[in-house]
Amino acid sequence: MERKVGEVFNDGENKIEVVYDIGCNGCFFYKNICTRTGRHLKNCGECYHSQRNDRKSVKFIKIGESKMDNKEKLKRSLAEEEQRAKDSLANVEKMKKQLEELNKKEVEVSATGVILQKSKRDIFIVQGSNDISEDTLSDFYYTEKCFDINNCFETYQQAKQEALRREGQEFIRRCAMLWNKDHDWRKKIEMTQSCIFMTNLFDLKSINYSGNSYGQIFFDNYELVDRCIAELKAKYNEEQIKVIFGVK
């Protein structure tokens, strides 16, 4: 709140005038409840120039007394109590938010939502069938094992994306095992094989590797890769394919 220079108002039984002046000497509130010392009195408002819109420093001078009847005193006390209640509620909400932030910091979570640090909290687990279950990370054998293999996620959406990624990769691997001559999806050392590659434009392409290259699902030739890409595009939409290849 900002009171204008020259304004006269009542503070209890005291009549106060706002005057332009620098410094605190002579200010009625300086030795009582001062805004400058951090004990903010809602009734007087800001006094320091950097906190006022008019950029003028002011002080509050007692110019007389103002007698209030019981009704005015009661209204004044009620307004003060209501303001204190609002301030108290605001402080409670602020402390709740601070506590929430501290709780978040206590639990490390990866960029994909994998919970990396144990905590008593709700989690989402991708089942072997790629279904998703909700549980509480605790001392139970099942959830402990899921935590050990990084299978606990912070949100349902993150667990759902992981389930889709696994499903898509399993689909590609299954195609390779069914179509390759020796039913093996792994890279054959020093032999030319093909695999699926996602370009910078988020488009799927087939690419050949003749040297030692690992970590992908390999097909015997280009034709099988192109066949798998066609089936992927028929089975999944563009956004789902991005999730499957880990770019979203």
Question: Which pTM does this prediction carry?
Answer: 0.53
Neighbours of 31 (CB within 10 A): 9
Residue 235 pLDDT greater than 90, yes or no: yes
Query: Which pLDDT belongs to residue 98?
Result: 81
Residue among 113, 110, 12, 15 nearest 60 (CA) = 15
Distances (CA, A) of 35 to 20, 22, 24, 51, 206: 16, 14, 11, 10, 71
209 burial level (CB within 10 Å; 0-12, 13-18, 19+): middle
pLDDT tens per residue, range 177-200: 999 999 999 988 878 999 998 888
Q: Is 71 left (phi over 0), alpha (psi -120 to 50) or beta?
A: alpha
Given the DSSP bridges, would you call strands 58-65 and 14-20 parallel, antiparallel or unpaired? antiparallel
Strand partners, 198: 204
pLDDT tens per residue, range 142-170: 677 777 788 888 889 999 999 999 999 99
Query: Which pLDDT belongs to residue 94?
Result: 87
Query: Which pLDDT belongs to residue 160?
Result: 93
Residue 107 pLDDT greater than 50, yes or no: yes
Question: What gap in Å lies between CA 202 and CA 239, rounded to an integer?
Answer: 10
Query: Which pLDDT belongs to residue 231?
Result: 96
* Nearby residues of 234 by Cβ (< 8 Å), 6 or more positions away: none
Residue 233 pLDDT greater than 90, yes or no: yes
* Nearby residues of 200 by Cβ (< 8 Å), 6 or more positions away: none
Which span out of 67-71, 124-128, 209-213 was modeled with the highest average pLDDT?
124-128
Query: Which pLDDT belongs to residue 25?
Result: 83
Query: Which pLDDT belongs to residue 106?
Result: 58
Are the beta carbons of 193 and 219 closer than 8 angstroms? yes
pLDDT tens per residue, range 12-55: 778 889 999 888 888 888 766 654 444 445 567 788 888 888 88
Are the beta carbons of 49 and 23 closer than 8 angstroms? no
The pair of structure tokens assigned to 171 is 């689909």
pLDDT tens per residue, range 60-90: 888 887 666 667 777 877 887 888 888 888 8
Query: Which pLDDT belongs to residue 241?
Result: 94
Query: Which pLDDT belongs to residue 80?
Result: 79
Neighbours of 193 (CB within 10 A): 23
Question: What gap in Å lies between CA 28 and CA 8, rounded to an integer?
Answer: 13
* Nearby residues of 175 by Cβ (< 8 Å), 6 or more positions away: 219, 224, 227, 228, 231
Lowest mean pLDDT among 42-56, 95-109, 222-236: 95-109
Residue 121 pLDDT greater than 80, yes or no: no
Given the DSSP bridges, would you call strands 152-153 and 132-136 parallel, antiparallel or unpaired? unpaired
Question: What gap in Å lies between CA 2 and CA 40, rounded to an integer?
Answer: 13
